[in-house]
Amino acid sequence: MIYLKIHDTDNGAMVAICDEKLLGNIYKDKKTGMVLDLKKYADFYKGELVKPENLVDILKRIYIYSGNIVGNEAVSAVIKAGLATGAEVKRIQDVPSLHIYKIL
């Protein structure tokens, strides 16, 4: 299951999407020093729990201004929805992370 939280902005939806099993953990990349703190920022991501196939349908129906996506299931669903490609995916301690933005 995947957490989906939609934050409304004046420019459209900002989505926070995270694999359920990752929320509450902290990941650190030793090579880059980057930190993915899903404990401190759990409230940002913790919204409705959805199945990956349902997430794809939801994402296709809303106007997304920006998104923060974390985890294998979440990133795969966003790519399947056509909002990104695998080339944009970054990894922090082997956890895939993706940020999407629409330029107005």
Tens of pLDDT, residues 41-71: 999 999 999 999 999 999 989 999 999 999 9
With tokens 């199945």, the residue in question is 51
Residue 91, by phi and psi: left (phi above 0), alpha (psi -120 to 50) or beta?
A: beta
The 10s digit of each residue's pLDDT in 75-94 is 999 999 989 988 999 999 99
DSSP label of 83: S
Q: What is the CATH number of the domain that holds 66?
A: 3.30.1860.10
pLDDT, position 104:
65
Q: How many domains does the chain have?
A: 1
Pairing of strands 48-50, 2-9: antiparallel
- By residue range, what is the domain housing residue 78? 2-101
Mean pLDDT of the chain: 94
